[in-house]
Structure 1
Amino acid sequence: MAKTRAVAYPPTEWVPASPSNYTASNRPSSYPVTHVVVHVTQETYADTLAIFQNPAKKVSAHYVVRSADGHIAQCVSERNVAWHAGNWTYNTRSIGIEHEGWVDQPEYFTDEMYRQSALLTAAICDRYGIPKDRQHIIGHVEVPGASHTDPGRYWDWSRYIRMINFA
């Protein structure tokens, strides 16, 4: 059974990833946190959580945001290194946020998903002193060496960054 615990904002549900799917650390002492990486799951919310809990998958993110209502699960503590970016340097220096949906189905990018994700991202940026701009809040596709295309062409970056800055 998942427990509820709070971070600075918003309240999140604690749904831990398998310890086999992230690296224990002591960030920001061990690695500075300088970026937020935005992902799209290409899976349902429930399936994404199950993947993160499967020790054979070797993947995780710090947070998963549900499409329908913006509900957020935290899967990896921010002090630990989630395996989300496919690039060790970016994994160590970023917080990964997965968003339920598919890159070619913009109907998954709901108002409530954007709202809750923007509030979460703003809180993360405030906590680590990360500038709230596109140089520091990036898509998975922008990670050097990335083979992924998310969040895709339907992700509204202008809206998202504006919401983060007004949070």
Structure 2
Amino acid sequence: MNITQKSSPNHYNGRNGWKPDMIVCHITDGNYDGAVSWLCNPRAEASAHYVVSRAGQVAQLVSLTDAAWCNGTSATAGHAYHYSTSTLPLVRQRATNANYYTISIEHEGMYNQTHGTLTAAQQAATVELIKHIRAEVQRLYGIIIPVDRQHIVGHCEISPREKPTCPGEKFPWTDILRQVQGASQAKPAAIRYALKTATVRSDTTMDITLPLVHSYIYKLTCAAGRPLTNSCNSNIIDISFDHQSGNDYFFRCTAKRRGCAGVAVNGHKIFAVKVV
């Protein structure tokens, strides 16, 4: 796609060891040229990876391998942007600056006029841009950003207290995700499950504590297919498949009721969850 390259000095060099797996959509509350100019100005102390105009123009301000200053969350207790205020389980679990693992797209518009609606050209450009970002992230980092509302999100979900209207309640999430998925979702590939005798490695082997209704993502690595994993007590925790990247399979553990329950792989408990 046609992307105009700009250069903003407002970014971290690198991502502090994180890989980007979340795309965050914003509204500029200003015009396209003004937004690009301001986000490239050192005085702004803010930036974004991309800006999409209402005419469908796209500018890139920050490299995907660097963290833009757009979705910052704080680890300081009581801070207005503390990660715990996010409505997204992944943000709360990671307990760090969300800029490290996010990619930002600003959309030209004024909230009090559009409430997040996009023009046809702007929406089409956003769909193509998200496809481009996913392909580039896979090329650069070897991971696939899932096309779902846990990984393609709004700034209002990162910082709901401070940015409740960004990008706006009329932002066309459903249409964008459906178009990004496209025909490839019409015929899903058959799932290849691993045999119980397959070797499986878990990134979590120590017991964890999980607040009620919160989620925790754990990774199982298996070369033979998707491992079989389950909750030892489904009344307390629920286990669901989240996404796959190569031989890495990610599962979501969600706290349903206070108590303790194990997480098993191939019938053997690998760690326990205490729900508080």
Question: Shared fold by TM > 0.5?
Answer: yes
Name structure 1 gaps, 5 residues minimum: 1-9
> Which residue matches 1:52?
39
> Which residue matches 2:176?
160
CA distance in 2 between counterparts of 1:146 and 1:86 reads 13
> Which residue matches 1:23?
12
- Structure 2 counterpart SS, 1:123: helix
From the two aligned structures, give the one with the greater helix fraction.
Answer: 1
Superposition RMSD in Å: 1.9
Following TM superposition, by how much is the alpha carbon of 1:24 offset from its aligned partner in structure 2, in angstroms?
1.1
CA distance in 2 between counterparts of 1:165 and 1:104 reads 30
Following TM superposition, by how much is the alpha carbon of 1:89 offset from its aligned partner in structure 2, in angstroms?
2.4
> Which residue matches 1:12?
3
1:18-63 CA-partner distances (Å, limit 9, x unpaired): x2x11111x5x82111100000100100110111121111000000
CA distance in 2 between counterparts of 1:108 and 1:155 reads 5
Bigger Rg, structure 1 or 2:
2
**Percent of aligned pairs with the same residue?**
33
Q: Choose from 149, 156, 173 the match for 1:141.
A: 156
Following TM superposition, by how much is the alpha carbon of 1:108 offset from its aligned partner in structure 2, in angstroms?
6.1
2:30 maps to a residue whose letter is: E
Q: 1:84 and 1:50, CA in 2 relative to 1: closer, same or farther beyond 3 A?
A: same
CA distance in 2 between counterparts of 1:32 and 1:108 reads 30
The list of structure 1 runs, each at least 4 consecutive aligned residues, that deviate by more than 4 angstroms after superposition, is none
Spell out the pairing of 1:1-167 with structure 2 (5 A cutoff).
Answer: 10-17=1-8, 19=9, 21-25=10-14, 27=15, 30-68=17-55, 70-87=56-73, 89-106=97-114, 109-126=118-135, 127=138, 128-144=143-159, 147-148=162-163, 149-166=165-182
- State the number of aligned residues: 153
From the two aligned structures, give the one with the greater strand fraction.
Answer: 2
> Which residue matches 1:4?
none
Greater RCO, 1 or 2 (C-alpha within 8 Å, sep 6+): 1
- Structure 1 counterpart SS, 2:34: helix
CA distance in 2 between counterparts of 1:51 and 1:166 reads 35
Following TM superposition, by how much is the alpha carbon of 1:166 offset from its aligned partner in structure 2, in angstroms?
1.5
- Structure 2 counterpart SS, 1:11: coil
The answer on whether the counterparts of 1:122 and 1:132 sit within 8 Å (CA) in structure 2 is no
- Structure 1 counterpart SS, 2:175: helix
The answer on whether the counterparts of 1:140 and 1:146 sit within 8 Å (CA) in structure 2 is no
The answer on whether the counterparts of 1:83 and 1:91 sit within 8 Å (CA) in structure 2 is yes
CA distance in 1 between counterparts of 2:117 and 2:35 reads 15
Name structure 2 gaps, 5 residues minimum: 74-95, 184-276
1:47-88 CA-partner distances (Å, limit 9, x unpaired): 1011112111100000000112x1100000101110011326
